[in-house]
A and B are shown apart, each in its own frame.
Chain A
Amino acid sequence: MDFKADHFTLFGLKQAFRLDLTDLDSRYRDIQAQVHPDRFAHAGEAERRLSMQWATHANEAYQTLKKPLERAKYLLHLTGHDIQAESNTAMPADFLMEQMEWREAVMDARNGGDHHELEHLHNRLRADIKGRYDELSQLLDDAGDFPLATDRVRRLMFLEKLLHEIDDALASLEE
Chain B
Amino acid sequence: MALFQIAEPGESAAPHEHKLAIGIDLGTTNSLVATVRSGIAVCLNDDQGRPLLPSVVRYHADGTTEVGYDAQKNQAVDPKNTIVSVKRFMGRGTKDIAHIESMPYDFVEAPGMVKLKTHAGIKSPVETSAEILKALKARAEAALGGDLVGAVITVPAYFDDAQRQATKDAARLAGLNVLRLLNEPTAAAIAYGLDNAAEGVYAVYDLGGGTFDISILKLTKGVFEVMATGGDSALGGDDFDHRIYCWVIEQAKLQPLSPEDSRRLMMRCREAKEFLTHNPEAPISLHLATDEMVDVKLDVATFAAITQTLISKTLQPVKKALRDAGLRADEVKGVVMVGGATRMPQVQKAVGDFFRQEPLTNLDPDKVVALGAATQANLLAGNKTGKDDWLLLDVIPLSLGLETMGGLTEKVIPRNSTIPTARAQEFTTFKDGQTAMAIHVVQGEREMIADCRSLARFELRGIPPMVAGAARIRVTFQVDADGLLSVTAREQTTGVESSITVKPSYGLSDDEIAGMLKESMEHAKDDAMARALKEAQVEAQRMIEATEAALAEDAHLLNEDEIAKIKSTIAKLAETMAGDNRRLINIAMDDLGYETQTFAHRRMDQSIKKVLSGRKVDDIKVGEEGEQA
Which A residues have a C-beta under 8 Å from some C-beta of B?
A: 1-2, 5, 8-14, 27, 29-38, 41-47, 50-52, 54-56, 59-60, 62-63, 167, 171, 174-175
Contact = CB atoms under 8 A, between A and B. Distances in A.
A44 B380 contact: no
Interface string B507-534: 0000000000000000000000000000
A56 B421 contact: yes
Q: For this complex, into which size category does the number of interface residues on chain B fall?
A: 35 or more
Contacts, number: 130
Given A34-B611, A38-B379, A59-B419, 11 more contacts: A2-B625, A10-B608, A12-B620, A12-B621, A33-B389, A34-B610, A35-B607, A42-B19, A47-B603, A52-B420, A52-B478
Nearest to B180: A41
Interface in B601-629: 601, 603-605, 607-612, 614-615, 617, 619-621, 623-625, 627
A52 B419 CA distance: 9
Interface of B: 19, 149-150, 179-180, 223, 316, 319-320, 323, 376, 379-382, 389, 391-393, 417-422, 478, 480-481, 542-543, 546-547, 550, 592-594, 596-597, 600-601, 603-605, 607-612, 614-615, 617, 619-621, 623-625, 627
A44 B596 contact: yes
Nearest to A57: B422
Contact of A171 (B323, B601, B612): B323
A5 B624 contact: yes
Contacts of A36: 391-393, 481
Given A5-B623, A12-B619, A13-B619, A44 B607 contact: no
B418 A35 contact: no
Nearest to A54: B604
Contact of B547 (A1, A14, A44): A44
A38 B392 CA distance: 8
Nearest to B542: A42
A167 B323 CA distance: 9
Chief secondary structure at chain A's binding surface: helix
B601 A50 contact: yes
B546 A43 contact: yes
Contacts of B320: 171
A60 B422 CA distance: 8
A9 B376 CA distance: 32
Contact of B604 (A38, A51, A62, A174): A51
A42 B604 contact: no
B149 A42 contact: yes
A9 B180 CA distance: 31
Contacts of B419: 59
A52 B620 CA distance: 25
